[in-house]
A = this chain, B = another copy of it.
Amino acid sequence: MKKLINAPDAVLADSLKGVAAAHPELTVDHANRIVYRGTPTRAGKVALVSGGGSGHEPLHGGYVGIGMLDAAIAGEIFTSPTPDQIQEATRVADSGAGVLHIVKNYTGDVMNFEMAAELADAETGVTVATVVVDDDVAVEDSTYTAGRRGVGLTVLLEKIAGAAAEEGQDLAAVEAVAKRVNASGRSMGMALTSGTVPAAGRPTFDLPEDSMEIGVGIHGEPGRHRVPLAPAASIARQLVEPVLADLDFTGAPVIAMLNGMGGSPLIELYLMYGEVAALLETAGVTVARTLVGDYITSLDMAGCSLTLLRADDELLRLWDAPVNTPGLRWGV
């Protein structure tokens, strides 16, 4: 295992030190492993709180800031944060207008966020609404989920719901737009190589030199099938087709994200997006906004994922609204 780390069990704590040093506009609670905005949630603004296992950077800590999250809770690598951590973030982030929990659909995350929401309500009177993201079309159930996994759409949802909260929409409205995003987006990923969890010290799964995993999860969970390594044009088809088969993306402006899994360089991600864009055009899908890069990763896994969101004027408006986070920034 070759990594830029000190000890395997110190990776998360050490990385949060770097986040704090690099981003004086954020506040890091090192004891509870929570990243907050540098200034408290303003009175009347709904707070957005998300989190999950680490190893998916910049998700979620990199999306804390104006126009996006108010707090992000970091679990250990590929491990849900605890209800205590989530409750603390919820309590601190709330300004009295309520909190939206954005939860990727993994059994541990869903359970712990639910428990934290109940505790927050019972102990501190914080009103919590929850959106569970389940955009991955690869599998119906998986190693760590009942139902579909939550993957790349989380990034788009945090941006759009964040903009709604920033402009003063109330909790019910922010929850509604978040659920509309979840209903309107789909993702599919693939891996060329396995990532390596530092504490394990070796790749999570074996993927021979001539094979790739289609439909892989962001923790290296098995996907739909293992197939021979293929050219980018073929890989693009294997991502685009299941996404388009699952939801109609024609007749609406689409936000597209071609995401890197952490170990694939940008030259390859752009190349993949070129193949994807050509297929989308042939299929009559109109892409209105695009992201290409590492937005939700799986440690050092080589590979990529595609996320499409069927948008409309309102969702595009919220997408284009100013955002100032380490991972997404424009307009400020």
- CB-CB contacts below 8 Å: A262-320 with B: 262-275, 277-278, 287, 290, 292, 294, 297, 299-300, 302-304
* From B20, B54, B258, contact of A267 by CB (8 A): B54
> For residue A62, which residues in chain B have a CB less than 8 angstroms away from its CB?
266
> For residue A22, which residues in chain B have a CB less than 8 angstroms away from its CB?
258, 270, 273, 277, 290, 292
From A2, A267, A274, residue with most partner B Cβ within 10 Å: A267
A232/B265 in contact, CB under 8 A: no
B5/A192 in contact, CB under 8 A: no
Q: Mark A54-81, 1 if CB is under 8 A from B, else 0.
A: 1101100010000000000000000000
Which residue of the partner chain B has the closest CB to A207? Answer: B2
A263 to chain B, nearest CB (A): 5
Q: Is A332 an interface residue (CB 8 A)?
A: yes
> For residue A297, which residues in chain B have a CB less than 8 angstroms away from its CB?
265-266
* From B4, B231, B329, contact of A7 by CB (8 A): B231
A8 to chain B, nearest CB (A): 11
When chains A and B are docked, how far (Å) is the Cα of A23 from the Cα of B258? 13
> For residue A329, which residues in chain B have a CB less than 8 angstroms away from its CB?
329-330
* From B58, B271, B290, contact of A266 by CB (8 A): B58
A15/B270 in contact, CB under 8 A: yes
A62 to chain B, nearest CB (A): 7
A contact face: mostly helix, strand, loop, or mixed: mixed
Q: Is A153 an interface residue (CB 8 A)?
A: no
Q: Is A82 an interface residue (CB 8 A)?
A: no
> For residue A112, which residues in chain B have a CB less than 8 angstroms away from its CB?
none
> For residue A18, which residues in chain B have a CB less than 8 angstroms away from its CB?
258, 269-275, 277, 292
Q: Is A111 an interface residue (CB 8 A)?
A: no
From A6, A192, A270, residue with most partner B Cβ within 10 Å: A270
A155 to chain B, nearest CB (A): 13
> For residue A265, which residues in chain B have a CB less than 8 angstroms away from its CB?
55, 57, 262-263, 294, 297, 299-300
Closest 9 A/B residue pairs (Cβ): A18-B274, A18-B270, A17-B274, A21-B277, A262-B265, A4-B268, A57-B266, A18-B273, A2-B192
Instruction: Knowing that A4-B264, A18-B269 touch, tell me 20 more A-B residue pairs with CB under 8 angstroms.
Output: A2-B193, A2-B229, A4-B271, A4-B303, A4-B304, A6-B232, A6-B275, A15-B268, A15-B274, A17-B278, A18-B273, A18-B274, A18-B275, A22-B270, A262-B265, A263-B265, A265-B297, A267-B299, A294-B294, A329-B330
Instruction: Show 8 A/B contacts (Cβ-Cβ < 8 Å), sorted by A.
Output: A3-B192, A4-B272, A16-B270, A21-B277, A22-B273, A55-B265, A262-B266, A267-B299
